[in-house]
Structure 1
Amino acid sequence: MKDKLKVAVVQDSSVPFDAEKTARKACHLIEEAAINGAELVVFPEAFLGTYPKGLTFDSPVGKRLPEGREDYLKYYNGAVEIGGSEISDIASVARENNIFVVMGIIEKGGSTLYCTVVFIDPEKGVVGKRRKLMPTGSERLVWGFGDGSTLDIVESELGAIGTVICWENYMPSLRAAMYGQGVEIYCAPTADDRDTWVSTMQHIAMEGRCFVLSSCQFLKRGDFEEDYRCTLSDNPEEVLMRGGSMIIGPLGEIISGPVYNENAIIYADIDSDTLVKSKLDFDPVGHYSRPDVLSVHVDKEEKKAVYY
């Protein structure tokens, strides 16, 4: 990892179902983070492509209604492709501002949507992606399942950067897969704004002896159009996601945040020496592991429905 590094976490909302406008908004936020000295910036889960909070897609058990299919069409049309113009524009701004971007997107993969995170290097452009392995609850209706082929961390000039998305962070084996690759900057884009998320992030930072950067949207009902069929509220001022973004050090200490109920970019200066010092008494895949008793097998092969 680079000796000293300033990092940023964005807490803001998408422009729901409008990828072009959201990309423009993201570009402005990236520029702001860079102006304030950040060399890496993390965005929330599904920022580019929309997190459809409170939408049911009219899919009760045993039935799918036509209105829900219309909602899915709108959702699909607002998603993005890795090689599309929105990602290209963000990569250009990253290059112009010399800042590494970790961006939560809804990715089109054929006719299936994936909750994905893309890694954008300022010099090389898109250098990796992570598809969410396990969508949570009803997310499984509208998002496909990732596989082990996107579990690689990204080795960059800033350090070893990895991403675990939202409730994947409660999967011990997946965390181990990140630790085993030597993750130094552990990014956790999320839609979880619960109080318990703070202790989860602190635990992971201390368990993995890594820096944890967690980013969540601050999202109101009024950020959606009036005809958005949200089951949670019709009040434009109702907060659907309150944020809670934060940056945690490798001994579980809160460096910045959590911030609630406002748009913000939070910053922290991090130091590679802290990583080394934290491992004096604990290294989860080194001197504090017992591979003779416990180990994790990771299958990194891409899984396809049809092989030719």
Structure 2
Amino acid sequence: MTNPTIAIVQEAPVFLNLSASVEKAITHMEEAAKASANIIVFPETWLPGYPVWLDFAPGAGLWDDPGAKTLFRLLAENSVQLGDDHLARLQESCDRLGTYMVMGAHERIGNTLYNSTLYFMPGAGNPVPHRKLMPTYTEKLVWGWGDGSTLATVDTPWGTLGGLICWEHWMPLARAAMHAKGEAIHIAQWPMVKEMNHVASRHYAFEGRCAVAAAGAVITKADVMAGFHSLAVNAPEAESLLASMPGDDDTQIHTGGSAIIAADGSYIADPVYGRTGLVMGEVDMAKQLEECQALDTDGHYSRPDVFELKVNTRAMPGVTFGED
């Protein structure tokens, strides 16, 4: 049984700039592939950056705030859409490098944005999306709700690859549904991986008897402002809202914390805080299978005679027409 090497890209995107962030992603993919990575992982909404103003800018949640509205527009203008040229560029890189890649992105459908994970497979043609089921707290100001039609996994030579986004890891039924899909490798995307996020990620690995790549970004206030300025737009209200975040240029808004976790909850690659770079580790698949002797939550430890979960995997649009 071969063992996959996972590389987490703990870097900042070119904040709010989709085209520039795609080019930067390809550079990091090439770096990871050169280091013999089989699966390359980016953090939550890395394309083109987690909306940090929701957490740190005073006034971001005020009704009809012109800065928040402008930032939403800029984010919508710099979000991916399935089938677009940006995703095609990333797919071409996966094909060329022969690697699997998991990207966190803002995805636009109509005029609604989603917090999405995109699974790229070499030679597949198009990425497979998962859209976050429940935006957390202030995230509801930016993202809509996903549905069960994108509770996705993909096949790899090392087994099933799946993932959840941020606080989805505290949704017990979402975890149960993903465990039932038989994940061998799970991607846990976070803005940054704080202590409680490590608790959730390590618990997921132990409960699901799978390897977990917990991915977070490192981004400074200077990165945020430089990314905004790279757009070369006249949007003083948006710039002012971003500038209102506390700290100076060197202040780290997100501090990384990426790690790779084994199926027994131990670390394959210890958490890395405060610096950029690749966080890499090799998963021992044989040892992982051995852990299932004591616990298999979708198998001999499941008690289906007592518990039953039904998952609605139909797409749930707001409007359907007769021919649909």
In the superposition, the TM-score normalised over structure 1's length comes to 0.95
Query: Contact 1:166–1:192 (CA<8 Å) still a contact in 2?
Result: no
Q: How does 1:124-139 map to 2 (within 5 A)?
A: 124-139=124-139
- Per the alignment, residue 144 of structure 1 pairs with 144
Which letter does structure 1 place at the counterpart of 2:307?
L
Query: Contact 1:58–1:64 (CA<8 Å) still a contact in 2?
Result: no
Tell me the alpha carbon deviations over residues 38-74 of structure 1, each in whole angstroms, 9 at most, x when there is no partner: 11111000001221112467432xx323332222111
Query: Contact 2:213–2:261 (CA<8 Å) still a contact in 1?
Result: yes
Structure 1 residue 193: Cα displacement: 3.1
- Per the alignment, residue 40 of structure 1 pairs with 39
Say how many residue pairs are matched.
305
In the superposition, the TM-score normalised over structure 2's length comes to 0.90
Query: Contact 1:127–1:154 (CA<8 Å) still a contact in 2?
Result: no
> Which whole-Å CA distance do the structure 1 matches of 2:152 and 2:67 have between them?
38
- Per the alignment, residue 281 of structure 1 pairs with 294
Query: Contact 1:45–1:165 (CA<8 Å) still a contact in 2?
Result: yes
Which letter does structure 1 place at the counterpart of 2:289?
V
Q: How does 1:95-110 map to 2 (within 5 A)?
A: 95-110=95-110
- Per the alignment, residue 269 of structure 1 pairs with 282
Structure 1 residue 228: Cα displacement: 5.4
Query: Contact 1:221–1:234 (CA<8 Å) still a contact in 2?
Result: yes
Whether 2:22 is the aligned partner of 1:15: answer no
Structure with a larger share of its residues in helix: 2
Match of 1:59 among 47, 58, 61: 61
Whether 2:318 is the aligned partner of 1:295: answer no
Q: How does 1:1-308 map to 2 (within 5 A)?
A: 3-55=2-54, 58-60=60-62, 63-225=63-225, 227=239, 229-230=241-242, 231-308=244-321
> Which whole-Å CA distance do the structure 1 matches of 2:2 and 2:318 have between them?
44
* Paired residue secondary structure (2:126): strand
Which letter does structure 2 place at the counterpart of 1:29?
H
* Paired residue secondary structure (2:113): strand
* Paired residue secondary structure (2:141): helix
> Which whole-Å CA distance do the structure 1 matches of 2:176 and 2:141 have between them?
27
Which letter does structure 2 place at the counterpart of 1:14?
P
Structure 1 residue 289: Cα displacement: 1.1
* Paired residue secondary structure (1:225): helix
Greater CA drift, 63-72 or 41-50 = 63-72
Structure 1 residue 264: Cα displacement: 1.5
Tell me the alpha carbon deviations over residues 254-298 of structure 1, each in whole angstroms, 9 at most, x when there is no partner: 010200001011111112212210101100011111112222221
Structure 1 residue 156: Cα displacement: 2.4
Structure 1 residue 157: Cα displacement: 2.6
Which letter does structure 1 place at the counterpart of 2:282?
D
* Paired residue secondary structure (2:4): strand
Which letter does structure 1 place at the counterpart of 2:284?
D
Query: Contact 1:209–1:251 (CA<8 Å) still a contact in 2?
Result: yes
- Per the alignment, residue 235 of structure 2 pairs with none
> Which whole-Å CA distance do the structure 2 matches of 1:130 and 1:152 have between them?
6
Tell me the alpha carbon deviations over residues 14-45 of structure 1, each in whole angstroms, 9 at most, x when there is no partner: 11110011000000100011000011111000
Structure 1 residue 141: Cα displacement: 1.1
* Paired residue secondary structure (1:34): helix
1:221 and 1:119, CA in 2 relative to 1: closer, same or farther beyond 3 A?
same
Query: Contact 2:193–2:214 (CA<8 Å) still a contact in 1?
Result: no
Tell me the alpha carbon deviations over residues 113-137 of structure 1, each in whole angstroms, 9 at most, x when there is no partner: 0000111111113241100001111
Greater CA drift, 168-177 or 50-59 = 50-59
> Which whole-Å CA distance do the structure 2 matches of 1:26 and 1:244 have between them?
19
> Which whole-Å CA distance do the structure 1 matches of 2:293 and 2:171 have between them?
26
* Paired residue secondary structure (1:135): coil
> Which whole-Å CA distance do the structure 1 matches of 2:208 and 2:61 have between them?
39
Query: Contact 2:132–2:165 (CA<8 Å) still a contact in 1?
Result: yes
1:155 and 1:256, CA in 2 relative to 1: closer, same or farther beyond 3 A?
same
Greater CA drift, 227-236 or 153-162 = 227-236
1:192 and 1:173, CA in 2 relative to 1: closer, same or farther beyond 3 A?
farther
Tell me the alpha carbon deviations over residues 177-221 of structure 1, each in whole angstroms, 9 at most, x when there is no partner: 110010111001111432222222111100100000111110111
